[in-house]
Amino acid sequence: MDAHPHGATDSSPEPGATDSSSEPGATASWSEPGATAGWSESGATAGSSEPGATAGSSEPGAVDSSSEPGAVDGSSEAGAHQRGGLRRHGHGGAPSRGHGGGAPSGGRGHGHGHGNGGHHPYLPVHIDLTALAVPDTMALLRPVLPEPPAAICEVGAGLGALAAALAGAGYRVTAIEPDPDSAAAAAERGLEVVNAELRDHRAPGRYDAVLFTRSLHHIEDLPGAIEHALDLLTPSGVLVLEEFARERANEAAARFLYDAVDLLAAAGVAAAEPEDDEGRPRPTDPWQRWQDSFVPSGHESPEEAAHRPLHTGADIVAALQAAGLTVTDQPTIGLWRMIAQRLADTPVANDVARRVRDTEARRLADGSLPALGRFLVARR
């Protein structure tokens, strides 16, 4: 099993962007703001000791879906949220957000996070990537989180797969999820769930760590989101983020992504995407296809613009540094999620996803692919 490169390094600043945070409101439980579902310790996921290692927890739940590089989780999948909150999308290859779990019936099923068992727009069902995605994230988190039973807040928890794994490891977890269906699914895991936007959750100084698992890039007011997250932390608390680094993409990354997607679609085990959201044929050139999916042209329809991630990894690093935080930036893989979230739920799907992930890890290690993921740890 190939290890992911560690070597955290101080991040260089870059232009930042925006999210929102500013209202009262906390409340837990899936559907009624104000109610809180009890925390429980079930759902732990065995984590491998290296990011990228497979370790197999087999917990239900899956991969957030939305449409950005590298996502998988049910949590992130549920319906797209308005800007200013967590927005997920599910178009032509963009990453998804969060670690959810199997999407509830009728829930969204493509795009972001850890966990998506919902319906694919082209195939009947998505593969549930929780067993791969959650252990990878847990392996990254263990060295940087305080010891259990520390209090942790996960922002954009989706269907709750990662939050359940953290609870199972002994942490006191609060899962913030704005989508009612996803929040309900997370609450069914026995988690304390706040069905609200980040800005509406008021609990100053309550948490030892606040996690954004592929969710912060969706929040429009980026400085506001960071400020609000810092307000939730104890004085010694840590802010931890799993993010995409689409700004690092190059032609090699685009070829890896779209060659794999097209090959798996031709084999009948993944969704084919011959057209974009507007019904136009997709470019045959992989790099042009990437540009069309992730680089704003200034001529997009409102729907196309809504499906693009708001912020790059560089934007997020710059905003963290502008808030006076010390940031370490560990390169990670991310393309495999974009490929795996297109897989149908077939007997070979999990093995295919694992092999794609391990191949990307090897190529990142040998320098033939850029790191399309960023694992960020920010401290005062």
Higher-confidence residue: 272 or 31?
A: 272
Contact (Cβ atoms closer than 8 angstroms) between residue 191 and residue 160 = yes
Q: Is 215 among the domain residues?
A: yes
Q: Is 146 among the domain residues?
A: yes
Q: What is the rounded CA–CA span in Å between residue 302 and residue 185?
A: 30
Q: Determine the pLDDT at residue 306.
A: 60
Q: Is 111 among the domain residues?
A: yes
18 with 60, same domain? yes
214 with 363, same domain? yes
Residue at a domain's end among 259, 275, 302: 302
Does the CA dihedral 78-153-374-348 come out positive or negative?
A: negative
288 with 188, same domain? no
- Number of other CB atoms surrounding residue 113 within 10 Å: 45
Residue at a domain's end among 270, 302, 334: 302
Q: Is 33 among the domain residues?
A: yes
Cβ-proximal residues to 140 (8 Å cutoff; 6+ apart), any chain: 51, 242, 330, 332, 375
Q: Is 338 among the domain residues?
A: yes
Q: Residue 184: which CATH number?
A: 3.40.50.150
Q: Is 1 among the domain residues?
A: no
Chain segment 251-267, per-residue pLDDT in tens: 999 999 999 999 999 99
Residue at a domain's end among 285, 302, 319: 302
Q: Quick check: pTM over 0.75? A: no
Q: What is the mean pLDDT of residues 29-47?
A: 34
278 with 335, same domain? no
260 with 362, same domain? no
Q: How many domains does the chain have?
A: 2
Tell me the C-alpha to C-alpha distance, in Å, between residue 193 and each of 73, 91, 368, 370: 16, 28, 41, 36
Report whether pLDDT(94) > 90.
no
292 with 352, same domain? no
153 with 269, same domain? no
**Residue 167 amino acid letter:** A
Task: Find which of 1-5, 36-40, 330-334, 347-351 is predicted with most confidence, using mean pLDDT.
Answer: 330-334
Q: Determine the pLDDT at residue 128.
A: 84
Q: Is 283 among the domain residues?
A: yes
Report whether pLDDT(67) > 90.
no
Chain segment 5-29, per-residue pLDDT in tens: 333 444 444 333 333 333 333 333 3
145 with 274, same domain? no
Q: How confident is the model at residue 210 (pLDDT cuts 50, 70, 90)?
A: very high
**Residue 358 amino acid letter:** D
294 with 191, same domain? no
Contact (Cβ atoms closer than 8 angstroms) between residue 102 and residue 129 = no
231 with 284, same domain? no
Contact (Cβ atoms closer than 8 angstroms) between residue 116 and residue 209 = no
Residue 375's domain spans which residues? 9-246+311-379
What is the DSSP annotation of 275-302? B-TTSPBPPSSHHHHHHHHHS--S---H
Q: Is 3 among the domain residues?
A: no
Q: How confident is the model at residue 294 (pLDDT cuts 50, 70, 90)?
A: confident
350 with 370, same domain? yes
Report whether pLDDT(93) > 90.
no
155 with 216, same domain? yes
Question: By CB neighbour count within 10 A (0-12 exposed, 13-18 middle, 19+ buried), where does 229 fall?
Answer: buried
Chain segment 300-321, per-residue pLDDT in tens: 666 666 656 689 999 999 999 9
* Token digits of residue 171: 């942490």
Q: What is the mean pLDDT of residues 29-56?
A: 34
Report whether pLDDT(108) > 90.
no
Residues 176, 181, 182, CA angle at the centre, nearest 5°? Answer: 45
Higher-confidence residue: 191 or 68?
A: 191
Cβ-proximal residues to 261 (8 Å cutoff; 6+ apart), any chain: 93, 270, 273, 338, 339, 342
Chain segment 118-166, per-residue pLDDT in tens: 333 434 466 888 889 999 999 999 999 999 999 999 999 999 999 999 9
Report whether pLDDT(328) > 70.
yes
